Amino acid sequence: MRICPVIFKEPDDFNSGRKGESYSLSEVISELCRRTYEGASGIIKPLGSLLGGVLTDRVKLAQKRFPSEDEVMMILRDRNPLARLELAWNNTISQETLRLLMRDPDRTVSAVARRRLIKATDEELRMPQL
């Protein structure tokens, strides 16, 4: 049973013109890393662009000025906390939405919503009512 990864090279690949010399450990490791990255990038890049595009759309929706109630509810139900965090930073959402975001399972989202709600409440108290 092999535990470590194996680099397969053709015999010609090892012919570096240095007759009788062997490869150093750093050369072998760098070749292993290069080949691993090349193999994985063919899988990761298309998947990342697909998922990144979907997330980007939801983040843009969360940043929208005066989102509708349906859009807000869709973002509140979003599994990704980045979209909910952008909604918490949105200056045009209602205090009711901030109160819902205060109960978010993600600590960062709930902390941002809490600070924004406190700031909004303080500003209301400072403004004189005419």
What are the structure tokens assigned to 111, written together? 């902390």
Report if residue 10 sits inside a domain: no
pLDDT for 35 equals: 75
pLDDT for 28 equals: 77
How confident is residue 40, by pLDDT bands cut at 50, 70 and 90? low
- How far, in Å, CA of 34 to CA of 27, rounded? 11
Handedness of CA 8, 13, 15, 21 (dihedral sign): negative
Report if residue 17 sits inside a domain: no
Domain hosting residue 29, numbered range: 23-126
Count structural domains, the chain: 1
What are the structure tokens assigned to 116, written together? 């924004």
Identify residue 77 by its one-letter amino acid code: R
Residue-wise pLDDT for 61-100, tens only, equals 998 999 999 999 999 999 989 999 999 999 999 999 999 9
Report if residue 5 sits inside a domain: no
Residue 11 clears pLDDT 80, i.e. is over it: no
